[in-house]
Structures are given as structure tokens and as C-alpha cells.
Structure 1
Amino acid sequence: MTGPSRLVAGIVAVVLLGGAAIAFAIVWRPAIAAIEPPGPQAFDAALVKRGRDLAAIGNCNNCHTVRGGKNFAGGLPVPTPFGTIFSSNITPDAETGIGRWSEEAFRRAMRSGFNREGQHLYPTFPYDHFTNVSDEDDRALYAFLMTRQPVRAAARENQLSFPFNQRFAIAGWKLLFLRHDTYQPDNQQSAEWNRGAYLVEGLAHCGACHTPRNALGAERASAQFAGGDVDNWHAYALNDQSRAAVPWDADALFAYLRDGFHPDHGTARGPMAEVVGNLSSVPSSDVRAIAVYMAGVSRTPTPDRKRQGEAALEQARSSSGPASQANAAGASIYATACASCHESGRPLPFGGVNLARSTAIASPDPRNLANIVLSGVQAVEGERSPIMPGFANSMTDAQVSALLSYLRARFSNQPPWSSVEKTVQDARRAQTAFLVKSPAPHGAPADPQQREKP
């Protein structure tokens, strides 16, 4: 081998060895030593209470509790384009949960997406947001989870095809999309705005549902809060692309997030109802901070947008505008099944929302409205909340489709939806699966301790 050839070969060898070392460093993490499960008395009560509030903001119980199962014991199926992933047991059970995890191991899972043994965690656990959670808040969350009731519940086998069933492949995903320390306080904004930004971009992980994803399942950074899909529901756009009939502001967002209802926007349903159920138990200052930050994300409405909102309110006041004559079947169903509540003018819970203000009807996607018509709105015990019967058993797909098309034409100024009947069929098929996997009505937290007001 000539001198130049040896030099080239040496360079290639160095590059290959360096690449292998980098790949190994990305793919592999050492196991963190197991500990003896600490007893509940090992944690300060105030720290546990703070962790309870943070767990509610993070919606931890709804992802880690299957309907009818034990609190935080995992097993919830999470459908993805690549197959189904089951949530893990995060109770302090020593064998099947996180009882032998140290705080260091817990923090590594939150920040980098590795379990105690050093295996990659699938990003359905949104550590791409949890990288923004502070050490102090991780400590409080750890204290809360380690003082829950231990539950022996082995992890269910994920249903993923090759190569997605190989955890080392997640290393490539992390290399492309996982960023650390992305949240930075903005000194030009108020303390309340910054608190909201910290929660939304971190533990609350709002973008995980409300941001569209790319072909590899990562959030599209260029379309943050432009709307996404979860559990056969459409998570509405929260930025300036929102199609809400009336523009959101901080007060409306606060009321909606706290109570699950606002007369200008409608009722929280599906996965969003679960979020609201948890936020009802946390300090109102945190909910207000989230609302203030998100109002900034949606931006000040343009003059045209304000006029559209005012027109929607005027239409609502004048009771709903002209009826559509092109859809006699839908009009008849509306008059028989809907008008007596939605045009009664009665207060909650006996009167329906004014449909001219409904975000579901103004949305570019009819899925949410289809879900609401099929499953209804269940009452929340002890609260003066909206209530509506479901019509899955009393209406055919064709009737529901006719009703949805009529509502769109009569109560919005948006173009007609396409493929409405297919949407209704898909919603009906998904309804049973959703009811099986979802927690209690209106998203009531599975852990009764999370329902306690601070």
C-alpha cells in the first residue's frame, strides 16, 4: 500500500471508529442502580402536594391509567401510525413499576427518555416537552408518584412492526428531534406569561396534541399549535389559524380550562375533557398563566377576524340566522332532537349552547361534532355543567350526517364539509374503543386525591 493509500485508509478508519463511537453514545446508556423502595414517610408532605398539582397539569393519570384499572398502573393503549404502544406502570411497585427507581433515574427518563435499565422510551411519553421541566418540579413529581399505592401490573407488549419495535431505532429519532433546554424565559414578558410558557411548553405539553406531526411522528416546529389529531378527535388550532367562531382571549381560555365550558366556544369533550378535569384541581394561578400565554399564541385578532366574531355573536343573539332549506332531512332532525334545548334560552344545565358560537361547527374537520352527537355530554357530579344525550343508538349514520351538514350550513359561514358520512362511520367505530380506554366522564381524574382543591 502506497503512502497516500495508507493515509486515506487511516482517515476512513478514524471516521468509521468515530462514527461508531458517536452512534454507541447515542444508542446506549448505562443502567442506574436500583434502590430499595422508599416509604411514603420519606417525602415531605408539602413536596408531595406540589407534585400532585404538577401531575394534574401534566395529565399523568389519564395516560397511565386504563379505564377500570388501578391508578397510574399503566396499560393504556396509545394508537400511533406505527402501531400501538401501551403506557407503563408508574406506581412505586418494586417489580413492575418504578419503586426501585432513584430520583436520578426518574429525572433521566423525563429529560432524555431512558428507563432505569438504560433502554430508550418511546416518545409517546412526551419527554421532548419534559426536557423543559425544572429539577425542583421533577423532584416534586417523583415524591408524588413514589407515595402512590403500589400496584403490581406488568407492562403489556407493544404492537409495533419492524423496525419500530426495535428500541435502538429511537436513537435516530432523538438525534433528529430531541432538543434540550429549549424553554428560555422572556424578559420582555410578565412573570405570569413566563409561568404559562414554562407549563405549556413543558409539563402540560399542549403542543403534543395541538401541533401536527411529520412522517416520523415528531411535532412540526414550523406549525406549532396549528391543530392535531388524537383519539379520533381533532385538537383545534390554538394559533392565529383558529377557526373558532368567536376569537379566544385570556378570560375565555381561563374559564374553559377551569370549568370545561364557555358560552362563546362550547364544551370540552374527548381528550380535552380529561385535561380540564385535572386542571379543575390545580391552583387557579397556574390555569390563568396558561390562559395568558396561550392568548398570546393566538395573537390579537385582525380587524377582519374581530368583525367575524362580532357577526357570530350577533347571529347568536338573533337566534341563529337563516335556516337552510337545502337539507330538509337535517332540518327536520334538528327541529325534533336539538332545537328544544339549543334555542330555549334556558341556563345550564337544561339549556344547550348557542350553536352559532360553536367551535365544533366552525372547525374545518367535522369529527368532533360527530363524536359529540353520537356520545353526548355527560353531567359532572356536583357541578352545574352542560348535559346532552348521545344519539348513537337512535340515529343512523345517514341521519347524523344530514344533521351535521345542516348545522354547518345554518350556524357557520364556513364552506360545507366533505366526506361527512365517512367521518360519522369512523367516529361510530372509534366510539367503543374510546369509551373502553377513557377515564371517568368529563375526564374526572382516576386518583381521587387529584380532585381535591388546593
Structure 2
Amino acid sequence: MAGMRNTILGAACLGLAGFGGISSAAAQAASDDAALVDRGAYLARAADCMPCHTGDKSKPYGGGLPFKTPFGVMYSVNITSDPQYGIGSWTFDDFKAALHNGIRKDGAYLYPAMPFDAYTGITDDDLKALWAFVRRIQPVAQPDRENELKFPFNVRLGLLAWRELFFTPATFKPTAGKSDSWNRGAYLVEALGHCSDCHSPRNIMGAVKSKDIFTGSEVDGFYAPDIASAALAKNWTKDTLSQFLRTGSAPGKTSVFGPMAEVVHESLAYLTPGDIDAMVTYLLDSPPPKDKPAPEAASPLPHDVYVRAAKSYIDNCAPCHRDGGVGAGVAVPPLAGNPAVTAAEPYNVIMAVLGGLPAGGTYGAMPSFAGRLSDSQVADLVNYVRTSWGNGGTANATAGMVAAWRATAHVPDYGTQVASSFDCPKVGGAPGNSGPDAKVVASLTQMIQGGSRAIDKLADAYTSASGDSSPNGVVDALTAAYCPVVAASQAPDWQKYGDLRRWTLQVAAAISPRLASGTIPDVPVIWAVPAGTGLIGREPASLAAKLACPANDGKQVPKALGDAAVALLGTPKPPVSGDAAKTYATTLVQQNPKARRADVANALILAYCPAVAALPGTSIAEQNNLLNSFGQQVIGTLQLLPTPTVAAK
């Protein structure tokens, strides 16, 4: 039970190695009152910390206790207040990071020998009490012994995969409908006592098997028995189990031996009768085990998709974005809680995976994975990122959608040899090259030259005439059809390629909703959506009964940016000319160079919308047309500006 030494993963609190420095723990200890320290001492007993961190009984908490595991020998560490060899230089935040998140003071991952997967449930109040006690432990000047782990288990970065698949930080929350005693017992058993660490079998990666929690496991040559509620109910009553936990024996049952004896004598014997009663209440009524580890249980993805996508994330993304999508300081932005990741459309994540992102400001460059991952692999990865770690995005990316966005890369970047000659047959698939039907592409070009710019209709016309409904084929066809139109203009080459790039992205965005897994929510007004380093415009699928201007409340775009757009526009009188819209867009970017381009466009749309909605004697269709024209001009202007760097991250 609590604190028993597990032959696979070791002991409670194992791995909290400290570093030299001023004893901040000792300095903070002076402010603790005696009651807080006493409570911390009680909680440390419940967590069974001392036996596991004591190799030499004359040096309590000084570490050095060996644990034989399938991966090699591990040694518990010094957690006394010694500033050089213990954790005397730690702060409360360091202590919390270790117990709640499994991250050491120096930022390295702790081995799950320290049961942070259970301790993560400890409440902040209890962590503070534990810290008040721990930092008063007498210092022991004993250095930690080096673990004797086999390669590759001695490389802590390998814990990325373990954490991503099996660990989610989560403070204990009471279960509704259960008594206070049951919930207190659940807290003691699951969090502080970490009973599952010894009484549950583990998989090949050393993680507790979710389906078999509490069903028993071998510990130091002894067998920790099945303590699931169904097994206990066959042989134990509340009274006999309570007596066993308090004393280590029960009449007509058994007497404690092996590692469990240490748990009873050093931990359970010191708990109050109320806490022992609570533990028994929970153990005799513990819920059935979960079928999946916590990270997967929280995911909407099917099991097979989740497994594939998690592996893909671990292999391709986790080395930089870390487990849990938390990022790595200022160099790598977080994916968890990132609004660009959880937007209604998955385009931004798709384009980032396919095209990578340039370095800029404090951010490092992100490579392209287009040549490494297939369309289905990218779709799975995008859905995983958008729905993991508390992200509330929708798993609506599909292989077809990825194929459409992959085709946008067929437009060469400006400055390349192909781009400098503006050789349309080499853009997408056009006459003389493999790709879309040449005759149909030529007819689409004539339609565009005649003024038809409705992408949906052009896409349907191509599919109907050619029989090719593949997403990448449609994007290539419409790109090739538009290219001669752009080439015939008198604009400079950089602007031609900017226009062609904008068109291609808009085609991919226009056909993506029909390719999505599930629906992509409609927008009330024209709206800019980020896509990798670029942006596209989404128009409402249908007109509302009233022009629904989003509020400038900081929820849609940063409040400061929205206010800056309002100040820039002043009191506009629609219609605003195209030149004026361009000026607004370029001015707001210059004033806010670090802002995302999509946010700049949307801030201007938010600022302009109320003026349009207030126009007297205009229909809803006329108002939407005015707002769409302004939005398209702003978005088009921002699309043609040099590629943003910091904002794209």
C-alpha cells in the first residue's frame, strides 16, 4: 500500500536531487507557524516519505536507499534542508513543480520512481504544509549516489514519451454524490498514499496499467495483493480491514509482513481513526478501473487514432514542444491553450506542420514535416494537438483537407528561379504538365477573365467537367487557371506572386469545410483566419437577420489592438475606399509589428462594423457587402506584406 517499494519504479519522492546555493528553504521556514509544520509532518507520514529516503537510519531523509528495477538500480535522494546536498536551496514553487508536475529544480524530468503521478493530486494547502515540514528537516551533508540505469533509461529526455502517454497534472477533485469520508479516503489512497504504485501491475514502459489498478503486483520479492473493492469485499469487513491498517494484524486473517510492515509501522499507525475509516470506506467502494490512461481518457479521438497520433507527436513535436504541449521557454511557443491551435478551423496547424515557420524575435524556426508525414498522418497529428492537454479544438482535420492545403505549396516562393520567370505551366498543373485537365483549366481561366471569382462555383465546374474531385487536384486546377490572369497584369512580380498565393490559400479554405470531419462553425461577418505564416478570409455562409458585429471585448482580438483600430478609424463613413482600407491595414501593422496579421485584420473589421450596421436605409445584404469589401481589402493588403515572423508563432 502507501509508500511500498515497487520493484519497477522505486519509492515515494525518489529523484528530488537538489543543487547548491543559499538555503532559501531555511530562510522561509522562520515564517511557518507550529500548527502548519505539525500538519505537514502528519501528511509526510501519510505519504510515507521518510522510509524511502533513508538509506542509513542514522541519517533520516538523507537518501541513498537502493531500489532494484528492470532498468537498473536507482537510489533515493537527500531531501533534507542541506543547501548543498539536499533541497535547502529550493523554493515552494520548486517543491510544487516536483510533486505536482514531476519536474526537478533544474527543469529536468523526474523519473516516475517518485510517484508524482499520484502526488499531482495533492492540494495546494497540503503542499504548503508539507513544504513547511520538509524545509525544517535537519540537514544531512550526504551527496546523492548516481543511479545505475542502463542505456537508454539513463537519458531523462526519454521520459517525454512516458509523460505524454501516461501523465496529466491534475489536483484531486471530490466526486459528486459521494460522502465526505469516501472522498477523504480517495484522497488518502490515490494521492498521498499512492497505493496504486505497489498494488498495480505495470506495462513495459513502467506505467500503471489503468485497467488493472489495485489488482496486485510483485514488490521486492513479495506479492502486494489485490485490493480492488470486489476482492476486498470477499474477505474483509470494515472493522477487520480498519484494524489491519492500524495495527498490521486482524484476528483470523493475517499479520503484516514484507514491505507492507514498513507502511503500517511508519505511516498508517500514525493516522487518525477518522482517516483510517475514510481509507477503508473508499477501498471497499472504490470505482471500477478506467480503461485508458488519463491523457487518452480525456481525448475525443478513437483509440487507434489516438495511439498513432500520440506516437507521431512524440516522434516529431515533443522534443521541442515538450510533453503536454507546454513549449520550451521563450524559444518554443506552447501548443496547450494557444488560440491559434484551437480555432474553429484547423488550417493554421495544418499549414504550420506542412510548411514550417520561420524564426523571428525570440522564437526559433520550425521545420516543415511535409516530406515526412502523409496526409492522414498530418490530419491525425493536427487533431491530436487541437484536442489534447485541455485544448478545446475540434478534431475536424481530414486527409483530404490536408491534401488541399499541401497543394498550396505548389506555388513557388517569390525569389526562386521558377517564380522569377513567372512560368504559369509550372505552377500547379496546367497545359503541358501533369496535373489537372488542361482543357478544363483553360475554360476556367476564361471564366475568371470574364469576372467569375466565386471559388465554390469554379471548383464545382472543374469537378463536373474533369471528373477529378480530389482536393489537391481542385486546388491545383484553380491555381493554374488563375495564374495567367495574374500574369497578364502590370503589377510587379512580387505582387503577382502574392496575389497568386492569396488566391491559392483562399481556394483551399473555400473547399475545406466540405472536407472537414464534422462542421466548421459559421462566422457572423467576414473574418481573418491564420494559416501558417499567412492568413485567409472567411465570409459568412448565410446572412443573419441583423449584422452581428462582434464586441471589442478582448475575446476575439487583444483589447489593446482593438482599441488601437478604433482610434485609427475614428468615425468612418462607409463606404471606405480601397486605398483607405490599405492605409489602415499597413498603419496598424506598423504600430503593432508583433501582432498576428489575422488579429490586425479582425481588429479593423471590429472597428468598422458598427459604422456599417448604423447606416440608415440599407439592407442586410448591402451592409454585408460593404463590410465584406472592406474586410477583403484589409486581408488582401496584409497577405501581400512581407511574411511575418514573431506574429506567426
Give me the TM-score of the superposition, normalised by structure 1: 0.56
Match of 1:266, SS? coil
Q: CA deviation at 1:32?
A: 13
For residues 198 and 68 of structure 1, the distance between their equivalents in structure 2, rounded to whole angstroms, comes to: 29
Residue matched to 1:93 = 82
For residues 25 and 119 of structure 2, the distance between their equivalents in structure 1, rounded to whole angstroms, comes to: 24
Q: Deviations over 1:396-450 (max 9, x none)?
A: xxxxxxxxxxxxxxxxxxxxxxxxxxxxxxxxxxxxxxxxxxxxxxxxxxxxxxx
Match of 1:202, SS? helix
Residue matched to 1:132 = 121
Q: What is the aligned counterpart of 2:170 among 181, 186, 192?
A: 181
Match of 1:78, SS? strand
Residue matched to 2:256 = 268
Match of 1:213, SS? coil
**Contact 1:54/1:137 (CA < 8 Å) preserved in 2?**
yes
Q: What is the aligned counterpart of 1:79 among 63, 68, 82?
A: 68
For residues 69 and 120 of structure 1, the distance between their equivalents in structure 2, rounded to whole angstroms, comes to: 30
**Contact 2:48/2:193 (CA < 8 Å) preserved in 1?**
yes
For residues 25 and 133 of structure 2, the distance between their equivalents in structure 1, rounded to whole angstroms, comes to: 14
Q: What is the aligned counterpart of 2:131 among 121, 126, 142?
A: 142
For residues 284 and 162 of structure 2, the distance between their equivalents in structure 1, rounded to whole angstroms, comes to: 31
Write out aligned runs for 1:2-151 (5 A).
36-39=24-27, 40-151=29-140
Residue matched to 1:167 = 156
Query: Measured at CA, do residues 272 and 66 of structure 1 come closer, stay the same or move farther in structure 2, by a change above 3 Å?
Result: same
Note the residue ranges of structure 1 that are not aligned, 5 or more in a row: 1-30, 300-454
Q: What is the aligned counterpart of 2:243 among 248, 255, 273?
A: 255
**Contact 2:68/2:74 (CA < 8 Å) preserved in 1?**
yes
**Contact 1:255/1:261 (CA < 8 Å) preserved in 2?**
yes
Higher mean alpha-carbon deviation, 204-213 vs 247-256, is at 247-256
**Contact 2:23/2:81 (CA < 8 Å) preserved in 1?**
no
For residues 159 and 22 of structure 2, the distance between their equivalents in structure 1, rounded to whole angstroms, comes to: 24
Q: CA deviation at 1:36?
A: 2.8
Amino acid in the other structure paired with 1:273? A
For residues 247 and 241 of structure 1, the distance between their equivalents in structure 2, rounded to whole angstroms, comes to: 10
For residues 252 and 164 of structure 2, the distance between their equivalents in structure 1, rounded to whole angstroms, comes to: 43
Match of 2:106, SS? coil
Q: Deviations over 1:182-219 (max 9, x none)?
A: 74311211100000001111010000000111111100
For residues 227 and 257 of structure 1, the distance between their equivalents in structure 2, rounded to whole angstroms, comes to: 17
Q: CA deviation at 1:240?
A: 5.0
Q: CA deviation at 1:261?
A: 0.7
Match of 2:242, SS? helix
For residues 166 and 20 of structure 2, the distance between their equivalents in structure 1, rounded to whole angstroms, comes to: 25
For residues 271 and 242 of structure 1, the distance between their equivalents in structure 2, rounded to whole angstroms, comes to: 21
Match of 1:265, SS? coil
Amino acid in the other structure paired with 1:165? N
Write out aligned runs for 1:227-306 (5 A).
227-240=216-229, 242=231, 247-277=235-265, 278-297=267-286
Q: CA deviation at 1:297?
A: 2.7
Match of 2:223, SS? strand
Amino acid in the other structure paired with 2:211? S
Amino acid in the other structure paired with 2:68? P
Write out aligned runs for 1:424-439 (5 A).
none
Match of 2:100, SS? helix
**Contact 1:132/1:202 (CA < 8 Å) preserved in 2?**
yes
Match of 2:183, SS? helix
**Contact 1:35/1:102 (CA < 8 Å) preserved in 2?**
no
For residues 174 and 144 of structure 1, the distance between their equivalents in structure 2, rounded to whole angstroms, comes to: 29
Q: Deviations over 1:234-271 (max 9, x none)?
A: 10001156389x61122222111111110132111111
For residues 59 and 275 of structure 2, the distance between their equivalents in structure 1, rounded to whole angstroms, comes to: 28
Instruction: Flag the structure with larger Rg.
Output: 2
Give identity over the alignment, percent: 40
Query: Measured at CA, do residues 269 and 157 of structure 1 come closer, stay the same or move farther in structure 2, by a change above 3 Å?
Result: same
Q: CA deviation at 1:224?
A: 0.9
Q: Deviations over 1:22-80 (max 9, x none)?
A: xxxxxxxxx99976342553321101111111111111011111143411111111111
For residues 126 and 181 of structure 2, the distance between their equivalents in structure 1, rounded to whole angstroms, comes to: 17
Match of 1:84, SS? strand
For residues 243 and 294 of structure 1, the distance between their equivalents in structure 2, rounded to whole angstroms, comes to: 8
For residues 247 and 178 of structure 1, the distance between their equivalents in structure 2, rounded to whole angstroms, comes to: 33
Match of 2:175, SS? coil
For residues 156 and 22 of structure 2, the distance between their equivalents in structure 1, rounded to whole angstroms, comes to: 22
Amino acid in the other structure paired with 1:209? C
Query: Measured at CA, do residues 268 and 67 of structure 1 come closer, stay the same or move farther in structure 2, by a change above 3 Å?
Result: farther
Q: What is the aligned counterpart of 1:209 among 177, 195, 198?
A: 198
Amino acid in the other structure paired with 1:146? R
For residues 182 and 140 of structure 1, the distance between their equivalents in structure 2, rounded to whole angstroms, comes to: 16
**Contact 1:57/1:204 (CA < 8 Å) preserved in 2?**
yes
Amino acid in the other structure paired with 1:212? P
The answer to whether the aligner puts 1:195 opposite 2:184 as a matched pair is: yes
Write out aligned runs for 1:358-397 (5 A).
none
Query: Measured at CA, do residues 243 and 193 of structure 1 come closer, stay the same or move farther in structure 2, by a change above 3 Å?
Result: closer
For residues 271 and 60 of structure 1, the distance between their equivalents in structure 2, rounded to whole angstroms, comes to: 14
For residues 199 and 220 of structure 1, the distance between their equivalents in structure 2, rounded to whole angstroms, comes to: 20
For residues 239 and 118 of structure 1, the distance between their equivalents in structure 2, rounded to whole angstroms, comes to: 36
The answer to whether the aligner puts 1:218 opposite 2:207 as a matched pair is: yes
For residues 109 and 174 of structure 1, the distance between their equivalents in structure 2, rounded to whole angstroms, comes to: 14
Q: Deviations over 1:132-189 (max 9, x none)?
A: 0000111111111111111011110101111000111112111111122274311211
For residues 68 and 88 of structure 1, the distance between their equivalents in structure 2, rounded to whole angstroms, comes to: 14
Q: CA deviation at 1:113?
A: 1.0
For residues 283 and 240 of structure 1, the distance between their equivalents in structure 2, rounded to whole angstroms, comes to: 22
Query: Measured at CA, do residues 221 and 192 of structure 1 come closer, stay the same or move farther in structure 2, by a change above 3 Å?
Result: same
Note the residue ranges of structure 2 that are not aligned, 5 or more in a row: 1-18, 289-649
**Contact 2:122/2:171 (CA < 8 Å) preserved in 1?**
no
Superposition RMSD on alpha carbons, in Å?
Answer: 2.1
Query: Measured at CA, do residues 70 and 35 of structure 1 come closer, stay the same or move farther in structure 2, by a change above 3 Å?
Result: closer
For residues 213 and 171 of structure 2, the distance between their equivalents in structure 1, rounded to whole angstroms, comes to: 14
For residues 298 and 272 of structure 1, the distance between their equivalents in structure 2, rounded to whole angstroms, comes to: 23
Match of 1:269, SS? coil
